[in-house]
A = this chain, B = another copy of it.
Amino acid sequence: MNTVTENIQLEFDMFAEAERLFSELEATSTSTIGITREAYGAGEQKAIEVFEAYALKYDLETSFDGAGNLVIVLPGIDRNAPCIACGSHLDSVPQGGNFDGAAGIVAGIISLARMRHESFAPACDLKVMAFRCEESAWFGKPYIGSCALLGKLSQDDLEARQRDGKETLAEAMERCGADLDRILAAESLVDPKSIAAYLEMHIEQGPVMIARDLPTAVVTGIRGAIRHRKITCLGRAGHSGAVPRWLRQDAFFATAELISALDEHWRVLLERGLDIVVTSGIVKTNAAVHAMTRIPDEITFSLEIRSQSTDALEAFYHLMETECNNIAKERKVSFQFDRKLYTAPARMNERWIERLKDISERLSMTSELIPSGAGHDAAVFANAGIPTAMIFIRNENGSHNPEESMEIEDFIKGTEILYHAFKEPL
């Protein structure tokens, strides 16, 4: 039996399968610089077609859930038993990389294909869930595909517009076949009890595993976030040459003071051992009126605070509000905030963490534990009470940029862990 399995394994070339799939995925990009797969757009749709075709080739079942996410199934012996699922997301940020999201889907689908190739029949259904719209770059909120599936979208979320301003999330989802009535009712489109576990393999999006020389790692938890997609600082316009400093209400100088103050708070809190990262990724004056010789009366910027600790998130947010109030008073400007988006930090399941460590060690792979700085669909499953775990793959140059770079050797190591986690009953 062992010999037979090993022979079959030799025939299923995971390396070649992965390279082919990643190369097909690269061709789905709609940008020439980096990879762009727009959520509910052309890039994401093409990626779905790549995965559907691959699943078909290996006689796996394909369908779409009520939120328009692709689901690929290797049927189990008992089709009514709770399934084991793995998944990740189809979309990328604009001009991002090929692996952020897609790697987890490729790992899952190759694992199922390999079992099919080996004629392995699992005890329960094994599913790959390929989610739409995980990246907040598109509609401001992250994990939209998984949130829709688990009944976690609000009316406000559904009214958010795509970054090009054209379509609301509700319109985009409806166009892609989602069951809007049930999503609007915040109904879970799947019974959480029908999922015994949700596993997600993902590239690490920070520099830790490169620095510590870890091809794979097991994730302990996922940072939560407080976000504002758009904060507007309003001052007063004026001729740049003719208004003295004391009469100015300069929206950019006010915003620069805010960012510098937040940077200093951040530095101090890190010294006290708090887990925090702060980012303002989008900033702009009003292009319809701005000019080199016009004191800017309006600047808009995004703000994101992430932490593994809910307390640290709230404390930093409070500091930010205090700074805004002080600066507004001092500089005679005002700060207006759009909706506060909150994503709770998530803990991974202890039993599954141990299991993934055990499998890693049995396969003679590294089994270190690291936290996830980035958010993932896994956080939505964990916070819905579904036992959830993650495997990280080493990745150079971070993600959300075209230089994102994962070695296929590392990917295969992670996929081996996922394959065994899938195959061996808990």
Which of A283, A293, A400 gathers the greatest number of chain B CB atoms within 10 Å? Answer: A293
A229, A239, A263, A281 pick with most chain B CB within 10 angstroms = A239
Q: Are B266 and A260 in contact (CB under 8 A)?
A: no
**Minimum Cβ distance to chain B for residue A331 (Å):** 10
B293 contacts A137, C-beta separation under 8 Å: yes
Other CB < 8 Å A-B pairs besides A225-B241, A238-B400, 9 of them?
A: A33-B289, A94-B289, A205-B238, A245-B266, A257-B263, A281-B285, A281-B295, A282-B296, A284-B284
Interface membership of A46, Cβ < 8 A: no
For the complex, give the distance between the alpha carbons of A284 and B302 in Å.
12
The 0/1 profile, CB within 8 Å of B marked 1, for residues 229-265 of chain A is 1000000011111111101001011011111100100
Copies in the complex: 2
- Contact residues in B for A206 (Cβ distance below 8 Å): 238-239, 241-244, 247
Question: What is the interface of chain A mostly: helix, strand, loop, or mixed?
Answer: loop
CB distance from A324 to the nearest CB of B (A): 14
Residues of A within 8 A of B (CB): 33-34, 93-95, 135-137, 140, 142, 204-207, 223, 225, 227, 229, 237-245, 247, 250, 252-253, 255-260, 263, 266-267, 270, 277, 279-285, 287-297, 299, 301-302, 304, 306, 372-375, 398-401, 403
Among B137, B240, B279, contact of A281 (Cβ-Cβ < 8 Å): B240
Contact call B256/A292, Cβ cutoff below 8 A? no
Minimum CB–CB distance for A319 against chain B, Å = 15
Taken together as a complex, chains A and B put the C-alpha atoms of A13 and B392 apart, in Å, by 82
Q: Is the CB of A137 within 8 A of B292?
A: yes
Asked whether A306 lies within 8 Å of B243 as measured between CB atoms, the reply is no
- Cα–Cα distance between A122 and B229 once the two chains are bound (Å): 65
In angstroms, Cα B398 to Cα A280, docked, is 31
Q: Which residues of the other chain, B, contact A33 by a CB distance below 8 angstroms?
A: 288-289
Known A-B contacts A245-B270, A373-B239; the reply to A291 vs B94 at CB < 8 A is yes
Which residues does chain B contribute within 8 Å of A204, judged by CB atoms?
242
Task: List the B side residues contacting A258 at CB < 8 Å.
Answer: 256
